[in-house]
Amino acid sequence: MTADAVQVMDENENWPTQGAYEFAEFYNSREQIVTFDQMDAEVMTRNYDFVVIGAGPVGAALAFRIAKDHPDRSILLVEKNWNEPDRFVGELMQPAGCQALERLGLGSVFKGIGGVPVHGYYVAYKGKHIYIPYMKEPGSEKRFKGVSFHHGRLVMQIRAAAKSRPNITCLEASVTELIADYALVNGEQTMTTVRGVRIGPVHSKPEGDKSYAVMPKLTLVCDGITSQFRKILNEKPIHLLSHFCALLIEHEPVRSSEFFDGPEGATTHVATPQSPDVNPLPMPHNGHVLLDGVGPLLLYQLSETETRVLADIPGSSLPSDASGKLRTILRSSLANAAPKDRYPGLNALLLDTIDKSKRIRVIGNKFIPAVNNRINGAVWIGDALNVRHPLTGGGMTVGHWDCVLFADLLKEFNYDDPRDMQRLKAKWYWQRRPRALVVNALSVSLHALFAAESKELGLLREACFVYLGRGGRATMDPSGFLSGLVAKPHMLFYHFFAVAFLAVQLRISGTSTAYKGGNLLYRIFTAFYTLWVAACVLVPNMWAELHP
């Protein structure tokens, strides 16, 4: 079977990854972009209805949807660099994220970027594996699908859509501050109303910069995970949970149906290629989570011939690469997560790639809960509002549903009226909360289990693996959480504690391989202490998302 035949076999009818994109002509075009030096009086003084800070996957999508819904309204979309970004996060869109893009008018955004449909997750632990397919569509035997891709290509596709709208002004510049009113609250100067933004050049100059004030009716802060304005809204401390170290492995495309036989057949048809030259993944066109390393090891395809590897290093501090310690830890983690006797081709390719890599790319993984926004004149959306661990790949799903819900509500409320906008924001905040809570709390809690640092967490990880392998709702409801399709916090609570009680059972019965030893009385004590540890993992994370 040829690579072309595989693409036909695996074509996603709902979210096609092949074909022509309707806004393709704007992909690399800079004709629609105004630079800071080109700002003239017309750009500076126009009475914009909206200023969107950040043209990433969330900001550009939101600008496009608002421009489409309100063609008589003007939007200024500000981004520091409109060239294709080179990032190794935001490379997998969950099925619920695909749904959100469809609602935003961007359902065809994956066409022409060489993305790969994703059917579910292959999870391996202690020589065993389970397969977690995505849920079936209501009333159909077809399953929902996600897509994995090069992040920069997706961003450029969404930006292309934004550039196509005549009522969007695309500006390459930097927003240096929010122009706002302040009031004395509890003895401190507190921002109460955002009036506009101050715009300066991308790169500051030693002799001083000129800047311009733009005063829209509403400012939308969408500047992502490194948001410079998040602290204005959320002063809570940022929790650095771990670091992802990124590698890119290259291989031949899928050339045999034994490697992939659809989401049903993939439960038994697992590829174990001997050669690293062929696609080395046990289940191509699926996400992979290997749990026997220092932290979880993630693998997903960016194209038919490229696979991203993300190795998690738990903890807030990262060993030095210059001293060689980081590379030593990574090599050991890769070898343990993908042992040679089980994954010969993958093992060889991973170790060869780490040995030949001149630089290891690293990003810190954070958890930043959302807070209710009571500042008039501005809305924080996407990662600018809250951030979760990227383990489950749910960031863009949350961000794009933020856009969908906000854009829908924008049709109902008068954003010229501050009181109406406060009602809009309050309603939006409560509407976004269930899905955001499930995705965010799940990501942080799963990371705690998968990067187990204690016997109790190790026991919970083992119980989680056993539970997910039971099939039925024990498999498919968690699949719904991972995919963002099931936005029901009470169900997350139920299944998490079902895992916790399974851990109690494994410990008391003495059948656990992760927590061995002790007489019956000691096993009972440690089992119920594990239940307490489980509560300490999930409940604070859920409370952080519930608390305004």
| pLDDT tens for each residue of 230-282 | 999 888 778 789 999 999 999 888 765 555 555 555 555 676 666 667 778 88
Q: How much is the average pLDDT of 46-54?
A: 93
What's the token pair of residue 243? 């670091």
Q: What is the pLDDT of residues 59-114, one digit of tens each?
A: 999 999 999 999 999 999 999 999 999 888 889 999 999 999 999 999 999 998 98
Dihedral sign from CA coordinates of 339, 341, 347, 348: positive
Q: How much is the average pLDDT of 509-527?
A: 93
Provide the β-strand partners of residue 308: 248, 300
Domain ranges of the chain: 1-114+149-238+368-387, 241-365, 442-546
3.20.20.120, 3.20.20.140, 3.50.50.60, 3.30.70.270: CATH of 1-114+149-238+368-387:
3.50.50.60
How does residue 12 score in pLDDT terms, banded at 50, 70 and 90?
A: very low
Residue 283, pLDDT above cutoff 60: yes
Residue 27, pLDDT above cutoff 60: yes
Q: How much is the average pLDDT of 131-151?
A: 90
d(CA 307, CA 156): 20
124: Cβ–Cβ under 8 A, 6 or more apart, which residues? 282, 288, 289, 290, 291, 292, 337, 342
Q: What is the pLDDT of residues 183-242, one digit of tens each?
A: 887 778 888 999 999 999 888 665 566 888 999 999 999 999 989 999 998 887 787 899
Question: In this predicted structure, what is the pLDDT of residue 208?
Answer: 60
Helix (H, G, I), strand (E, B) or coil at 507: helix
pTM above 0.75, yes or no: yes
Residue 55: which of 36, 28, 35, 82 has the closest Cα? 82
Pairing of strands 188-200, 174-185: antiparallel
Question: In this predicted structure, what is the pLDDT of residue 412?
Answer: 87
User: Looking at residue 402, what DSSP letter applies?
Assistant: H
* Helix locations, 357-470, DSSP H: 395-410, 418-450, 455-468
- Which of 276-285, 306-315, 316-325, 538-547 is predicted with the least confidence, judged by mean pLDDT? 276-285
Residue 78: which of 152, 175, 153 has the closest Cα? 175
405: Cβ–Cβ under 8 A, 6 or more apart, which residues? 428, 431, 432
How does residue 503 score in pLDDT terms, banded at 50, 70 and 90?
A: very high
Q: What is the pLDDT of residues 327-346, one digit of tens each?
A: 999 999 999 999 999 998 89
Question: In this predicted structure, what is the pLDDT of residue 141?
Answer: 81
Rounded to the nearest integer, the mean pLDDT of the chain is 88
